[in-house]
Amino acid sequence: MTDGDRALHYGLGVLVLMAGLLGLIHDSWPIPLGATGSLHALFGALLLIFVVARFYRHAHRTPRMLPADIRALSRHLSRTVYLLLYVLMFFDLTIGILPGTPHHRAIYGPAVEFQSYLAYGFLALVAIRALSALYPNIVVHQGSVPIDTVQRNGRLT
């Protein structure tokens, strides 16, 4: 992973996490403000952009990915989406059990606001699977490279 890849990965990941945290803080605000779903939609859009950008960057960095490499990339992206959702869930529970929050609820209380985050996470996972399945049809590499000159890691021999 190059420095540009790391910057893209961590920068977009932090941006997605910040949008989610702002949405959670907005949901726990004592005075209901308008446009509650806009921060949730921003989180979903950023998460989808994160997934597509990571897939695109990795797919165009290697000359040709084999099915095993596509599966590994799909698993890596899925783990990242799950990690982001787990971190948001942790903060949702933390905000919910703090005694100073206006919507103080027990740990087992309803988390209706969090359902939209889970739905956007599910859509991101579906996008990962769709990109992985459509990879051979949507990626056009410059110059044709015979398949026998490609190693398992996608590099030319």
Each residue of 1-40: pLDDT tens digit?
Answer: 677 777 777 888 888 888 888 887 777 766 655 655 678 8
Q: Say yes or no to pLDDT of 155 above 60.
A: no
Which residue in 34, 122, 139 sits closest to 84, CA to CA? Answer: 122
What single string gives the DSSP state of each residue in the chain?
--HHHHHHHHHHHHHHHHHHHHHHHHHT-SSPPS-HHHHHHHHHHHHHHHHHHHHHHHHHHSS---HHHHHHHHHHHHHHHHHHHHHHHHHHHHHHH-TTSTT---TTS--GGGHHHHHHHHHHHHHHHHHHHHHHHH---SS---GGGB-TTS-B-
Q: Is residue 100 part of a domain?
A: yes
What pLDDT sits at residue 143? 47
What pLDDT, in 10s, does the model give residues 29-75? 666 556 556 788 888 899 999 999 888 888 777 767 788 888 998 99
In a domain, 34, yes or no: yes
User: Per the domain annotation, does 128 fall within a domain?
Assistant: yes
In a domain, 157, yes or no: no
Range of the domain at 54: 3-149
What tens digit of pLDDT does each residue of 87-145 get?
A: 988 888 887 776 655 555 544 445 556 788 899 999 999 999 999 888 877 655 544 45
Instruction: Note if the pTM is more than 0.85.
Output: no
In a domain, 68, yes or no: yes
Asked if residue 154 is part of any domain, the answer here is no
pLDDT value of position 152:
57
Give the pLDDT score at 95: 76
- Looking at the structure of the chain, the number of domains it has is 1
Predicted confidence at residue 123, as pLDDT, reads 94
**pLDDT of the residue at 79:** 94
| 63 part of a folded domain | yes
Query: Around Cβ 4, how many Cβ atoms within 10 Å?
Result: 10
Q: Which residues contact 98 (CB under 8 A, 6 or more apart)?
A: 104
Whether 156 is covered by a domain: the verdict is no
Asked if 117 and 40 count as a contact pair (C-beta separation under 8 A), the reply is: yes
